[in-house]
Amino acid sequence: MEKMYHIDLDDAMIEGAQVVLMPGDPFRVEHIAKEIASRFGGETQKLAWHREYCTYLARTGDRNFLVTSTGIGGPSTAIAIEELAKIGVRTFVRVGTTGAIQDHLEIGDVVITTGAVRLDGASKDYAPVEYPAVADHNVVSALIEGSRAAGIAYHVGITASSDTFYPGEERSDTYSGYVLRRLKGSTDEWSSLNVLNFEMEAATLFTMTSCLGLKGGCITAVINVRGIQGESVTRDALEIGESNLIKASVAALEFL
């Protein structure tokens, strides 16, 4: 098999790994892989870094795991899922950061998503809007058990996946400061419907994995609570969130 065009991997390179953790940020990949090796024993190897797609293999003796970055948003995530599935990956877990829109969530908590509001565009190329974007039950259960094992506070529920970080999440801290009329009040509306958080990839991930007969899950760490911190994110919040996210997601591998 030739290497996949974007991720620069082939089936032999991943050594039978069927589970991938997928951060958006390529600079988180090595950290996550080393946490896997530390927790389960083993070693890591950098396999490729092409465009936004950085991949490490974590060998743990009994099983091998992949960590592959997706970049930001649905389109680049869809490419990663397509190409990883073609070389043998079957379980896809997004691991990222998020902004909460429920005030009872706290910085450093993790959100385990059961279903996503499809505010994205990429998922519409895989299924009509009536098709639900839902996580795999077993992956959700594993993420819950992993969070418990790591001692990380978690919340389980619905996520809104937008295509844009700024207007799509009703942010006014932009160059123009303008939010389209149809988006004004959208944060309060989704909050009133018990949506927990905003992010940008879960809807695409869940729609694709369900359509293709794969397994998908999503765990994100809260680095901002919109009703409390507004639109700002502090460096301390980011560090706490990333640390908790990595501990919980890696612990979940034991249950997948």
Residue 230: its pLDDT value, please?
83
Residue 201: its pLDDT value, please?
99
Domain boundaries, the chain: 1-89, 97-256
**Cα gap 189→183, rounded to integer Å:** 10
Q: Are 150 and 249 in contact (CB under 8 A)?
A: no
Distance of CA 248 to the CA centre of its chain: 13
Q: Alpha helix (H) ranges present in the chain?
A: 29-40, 74-86, 137-150, 186-192, 202-212, 226-229, 235-252
Same fold, 1-89 and 97-256: yes
The Cβ of residue 176 has, within 10 Å, a number of other Cβ atoms equal to 8
> pTM of the predicted model, to two decimals?
0.97
- CATH number for 1-89: choose from 3.40.50.1580, 3.30.450.270, 3.40.30.10, 3.30.70.100: 3.40.50.1580
Q: Which CATH class is domain 97-256?
A: alpha beta
Kindly list the averaged pLDDT for each block of 10 residues, start to end, along the chain of length 256.
Answer: 97 99 99 98 98 98 96 99 99 98 98 99 98 99 99 99 96 95 97 99 99 99 93 92 99 98
Residue 188: its pLDDT value, please?
97
